[in-house]
A and B are shown apart, each in its own frame.
Chain A
Amino acid sequence: MNLNYIEWYVVELGKHLSSAVPLDKQNSLLHETKNHLSSLVEEFQSQGMDEKTSQLAAIDRFGAPEKIAAQFLESLNSRQGRAFVTLLNLALFIAICVIVTGLILSPNELIRGGPIMTIVPIAMSYGLYTLLRGRRPTAKWLLLPTAMSVVIGLPSAYYLTAFTSNRGYLSHVMPYGALRKQVLGLRAEMQTQDKFLRPYMDSYRAALKDPKVKDGLKSGDKFSVPSYQHSNSKGVYVTIASAYKMKSLISQDSNLVQLQGSEFSVGTVKDRKPEVLTGPMTGHAFRQYFIEQLDSQRRSRIMDESALGQLEAGLNMSVFERAKLFAFWVATSTLLFGLPAAWIASWLAFLIRNSLRFRTRKIGLA
């Protein structure tokens, strides 16, 4: 039997269901619908109708596909309290908005970087489309969010990362001028570190060989803590990692540690209210502190070198190479982040739309 109209009807019903109904339920309903319509066609044909007329009569008796789909969606929601579902959807929607906003405003450039620039326009366009049209956008709609990610994402990536990051992230989409500035800045920073930190690092290495540090300190022992200077807007301080853990800074002059019983104390903090820092400190703790400092310095140097390498690579890249990388960036971001985001956004939009539709119907507005 040629089921042209029936096939068309099943496809239409599927279109109205496609975004909000789980696949197994969708398949089941469509299969049953086709069976039901086929049986009606046979019934009408046995009454003397021709094939085409009987198909149309079967569809007429079955009802409009959008109406059936709407009722089916309602039956899906009926399992749970609708007010609860509405609240849950709104809470989810708000939570996602807060998370996305937080990601964009995050001080960490790795978090707020490129993928977010793709996720936001794609999720927004898919969500809005679904909310307004009541169906998930077709493949051609991918063009719009992709275009939006290029139009919105590229300038955003420029302004949010180029002028705040010196880690080399997204260096291929940054302006040459900003990139050059960052390369020079990072090189200068590394030179400064070499000049000022290296002596302290050397003294830490030497301290690790000190028998007092190695074997532990006794009460009343005096021990000179090698430390490096750290400046901020309040003046010049000497920092040590263990003091930082105690949420304070130690005075520039207080690199002499006096053990008192099982505790240690250091002098007052310069340019701030006098205070004495105390806390348990043993030779083992000093040793640990020096090791941590050396490790931290080594890790920091590796990261700086890697960032410098990326920045320099971006600077040396031709416009053509940059364009290629940018296209790759947009494509991978779209596939890896944009499409899942689009799916989640349209799913949420569907839930919200269904909840709102139910509410308007219930109060008699529609």
Chain B
Amino acid sequence: MAFKGDLEALILAVLSDHALHGYEISKRIRSQSQEVLKYGEGQLYPALHKLEESGFIEAEWMLQDGKPDRKVYSITPKGREELERHRSAWAKFVSGVGGIFASHAVEGGK
């Protein structure tokens, strides 16, 4: 499923609970979508960069003993507002599409 335009919204959603590094964000998107949302995971980093530049998320390098350092991302208040905007737009979209499907299902059943 292609969702390039929504990848940034998904990242914000995943980060709304925890600060995470890139691989973990990717893993959560996969698992929380029941493997429905598949994409080149490399696309995540341009999206993260864009979100960081826009001030929706912030990043910090975490030092790890015996392991490579990780860049951990967390959502900012501005990012939460952006996430709410996405949620609201998505709810409207789902409601609209759902309305059409429901209406045709009723007509088909008659």
Contacts and interface: CB of A to CB of B under 8 A. Distances in A.
Interface of A: 25, 28-29, 31-36, 38-40, 43, 61-65, 67-68, 71-72, 74-76, 78-79
A39 B23 contact: yes
B68 A62 contact: no
B49 interface: yes
Given A38-B68, A63-B40, A63-B43, 16 more contacts: A25-B49, A32-B22, A32-B45, A32-B71, A33-B45, A36-B45, A62-B41, A63-B39, A63-B41, A67-B40, A67-B42, A68-B42, A68-B46, A71-B42, A74-B46, A79-B54
A46 to B, nearest CB: 13
A34 B39 CA distance: 18
Contact of A78 (B42, B45, B53, B69): B53
A33 B42 contact: yes
Contacts of B23: 35-36, 39-40
Of A31, A36, A63, most B-chain CB atoms within 10 Å: A36
A63 B68 contact: no
A63 to B, nearest CB: 3
Task: Identify the 7 closest CB pairs spanning chains A and B, nearest first.
Answer: A63-B40, A71-B46, A68-B42, A63-B42, A75-B50, A39-B23, A75-B46
A22 B44 CA distance: 19
A33 B68 CA distance: 12
A299 to B, nearest CB: 56
Contact of A71 (B27, B41, B43): B43
Contacts of A68: 40, 42-43, 45-46
B41 A35 contact: no
Interface string B40-74: 11111111011001100000000000001111000
Contact of A31 (B41, B46, B54, B69): B69
A38 B67 CA distance: 11
Nearest to B71: A32
Contact of A72 (B26, B49, B54): B49
B50 to A, nearest CB: 4
A228 to B, nearest CB: 68
B3 to A, nearest CB: 14
Contacts of B39: 63
Contacts of A67: 40, 42-43
A63 B45 CA distance: 11
Nearest to A36: B23
B21 interface: yes
B45 A64 contact: no
Contacts of B44: 36
A359 B102 CA distance: 40
A75 B53 contact: yes
Interface string B61-92: 00000001111000000000000000000000
18 contacts: A31-B68, A31-B71, A35-B22, A35-B23, A35-B68, A38-B68, A40-B23, A40-B41, A61-B40, A62-B41, A63-B39, A65-B42, A68-B45, A68-B46, A71-B43, A75-B47, A75-B49, A75-B53
